[in-house]
Structure 1
Amino acid sequence: MRLPHFVLPSHWAPRPARWWPLVLLVCAGCAGLLKPAHGFTAPAPTMGPDYAQESNWAALPTRRDSADALPRAAGLRDGQATAAADVFFIHPTTYYWRGSWNADVGNARLNRYTDRTTIFNQASVFNAAGRVYAPRYRQATLYSFFDKQGPDGQQALDLAYADVKAAFQYYLAYYNQGRPVIIAGHSQGATHAMRLLHDFFDNDPVLRKRLVAAYLIGCQAKTNEYQTIRPCPDSLATGCFVAWNTSERGFDYPPYYSLAATNPLTWTLDTLRADAARNRGGVGPNMKRVDAHVTDAQVHRGLLWITPPKVSGYPRFFLPGYPELRHSFHAADYSLFYMNIRENAAARVRAWEKGKK
């Protein structure tokens, strides 16, 4: 059984009611409640998003948006105007409902929710390192990760990836202009980012030279995922990827033994415990404070072990029928290490520039 990749709402979800996320936490067999009423039906190829339209981007460096956010009173600045690199960020699942297998990119309510959650408190981590591009896409509904009975869930994920791929092709053609690029995502977004690396970078040495690094956080990236792209061995390596799935210390999950796991407090792959003193600061979903030394970190058999934080804003995750998730801090994969990720992304860009001189 695979762990589902998603982020639960931290506050009011767009549909169908304010109390719906609570149902996810208390109902038995709740995954079935999220199953779309009808099977997947492939839309016409012409119905995909037009990425020449700015409305089909959740973040662009040429306008004000949620990716420009900064933690309050942290003394940070948005560096996109002068950044040497780009960031192509793919947001995680924010669509949970039964209406269809894939979200409508024109759903204004869903887009507002996406912007004020994952773009606000995840994509923003990269605004010191590069110009942030984040496409809207027909993301697969949450149930797609639970669908074991037929092809519907995978077809929904394939459609979502087709949009992400189209957005990246548009980005390369009209925005990139030969600049170095960070590929980043979380959960469903990181799963699509994995595929981008397969399709565009693994077998293309020219484009691969422009890859600063990929942040494949909260997905199932294996240590031998690619033919040429390897897990980053240290904090300044480029042309490589980092990945982790955060879990409470002491938990063991054999299906994850083969997964790549990076310690974001040391940016190494070893299994030594890094003390919380090395945590530059977690940032909760409302971005109102930076919690220095919020937790430690240690790689253990494909997982990233942490000691549960003593401050609020970094909850465990629980879903009936998936007891392993009681130990998961999946929703906090970014927020627990916000400042470390922010500083590391900028440092890797500087290392990439130095290496090209």
Structure 2
Amino acid sequence: MKIPVARTKRKTRSRAVRFQLAIALVAGLSACAPGTSTTSTEPLNFSGPVNWAALPWTRDAADETPVPGLRDRQAEAAADVFFIHPTTYLSMFGWNATTDDERLNNLTGWGPIRLQASVFNDCCRVFAPRYRQAALRSFMSRSQGGRNALEMAYEDVRDAFRYYLAHFDEGRPLIIAAHSQGSFHAIRLLAEFFDKDPALRRRLVAAYVIGWPVPCGAFANIPPCDRADQTGCFVSWSTYIWGASESGRHSNREGCCINPLTWRRDGDYAPRELNLGGTPYKFDRLDPGVTDAQCVDGKLWVHKPEQSGYVPLGKSMHLMDYNLFYANIRRNAETRLSAFRRQ
């Protein structure tokens, strides 16, 4: 039966609103969208801390840990992580965020920087640029405005990475990590810089390209990881509640799913006993055994946690891609770095 256009638009708008509310809930902030001030087209200046959401020598949300037993070791870390945060710009009117919106910066900091980027503060110094991220609606629109918004966002990420290489990296081992929109940009960054540059590729410990489908053959010279201590490879997964099937634009069949409980892509079931601990959106505890995991048709299936604080979006656990496996990611980054240093 043909669905009336008006009803389809209402459903799309409803899904977008639920998505915005869930992101705001995770960040612990108001559900109202941040401001929509005019976005400059001039290149961003990354020479000072204003356009960085996290730097190893500033006090920021990437320094946090959910429990006292985990420590921020950035001051003594032997490697760096370049982290590209997901969408926090929720406006349905503007195309690109500004980087001087204090409320949006707080949303980004106490959302994905604290909940996701902090997972690497044991192994690595954390560098996370602010960028004129594309609005959420850019991914729902096929217009030129949406394409231009994503291009501007990537140009900022690329400029920040170039600045990092020129001024911060000191030839250190490097991890690329990202989530959602950040992973969309990370795929381009890996293809442009690492896939074509053997010298830079030799410094790549691993890439955590999470919450966006990445084909297993996405890169000519960066393979998918297939064991916990493999280096120079990428890991990716998108988390869904057990039994989720293919559904339109959310299809992950072409994505390369690496199970974060086994760090393999063989599709074997991993019981919850392998889960070292997830952390809820309040970031106030670790929950060992919070969920199991299995890769099925490009998706990572999990059983919904019994503990509170793990926010679903229908059948998707997109907002919890990092949270559900926080301790496993933290340990794995150190495992890969140790293997890299032995080599």
Structure 2 equivalent of residue 280 of structure 1: 276
The Cα shift of 1:20 comes to 4.2
Whether 2:247 is the aligned partner of 1:264: answer no
Structure 2 equivalent of residue 53 of structure 1: 48
SS at match of 1:256: coil
1:122-161 matches, cutoff 5 A: 122-148=116-142, 150-161=143-154
Structure 2 equivalent of residue 110 of structure 1: 104
Structure 2 equivalent of residue 300 of structure 1: 296
Q: Deviations over 1:234-262 (max 9, x none)?
A: 00000000000000111221732121101
Counterpart residue type for residue 230 of structure 1: P
1:1-357 matches, cutoff 5 A: 8-10=23-25, 18-20=30-32, 43-44=40-41, 47-73=42-68, 75-148=69-142, 150-253=143-246, 255-317=251-313, 326-355=314-343
Counterpart residue type for residue 48 of structure 1: P
User: What's the Cα RMSD here?
Assistant: 2.2
TM-score when normalising by structure 1: 0.86
- Structure of greater relative contact order (alpha carbons < 8 Å, 6+ residues apart): 1
Q: Which runs of 5+ in 2 are unaligned?
A: 1-14
Query: Residues 66 and 350 (structure 1 numbering): CA distance in 2 closer, same or farther, change over 3 Å?
Result: same
TM-score when normalising by structure 2: 0.89
Contact 2:213 2:254 in 1 (8 A): no
SS at match of 1:299: strand
Count of residues in Structure 1 that have an aligned counterpart in Structure 2 = 322
Counterpart residue type for residue 54 of structure 2: A
The Cα shift of 1:79 comes to 1.2
SS at match of 1:8: helix
Q: Deviations over 1:154-175 (max 9, x none)?
A: 2101100000000000000000
The Cα shift of 1:11 comes to 5.3
Q: Deviations over 1:272-292 (max 9, x none)?
A: 110000000000122111011
SS at match of 1:164: helix
Structure 1 equivalent of residue 9 of structure 2: none
> Which has the higher mean CA deviation after the structures are superposed, 91-100 or 275-284?
91-100
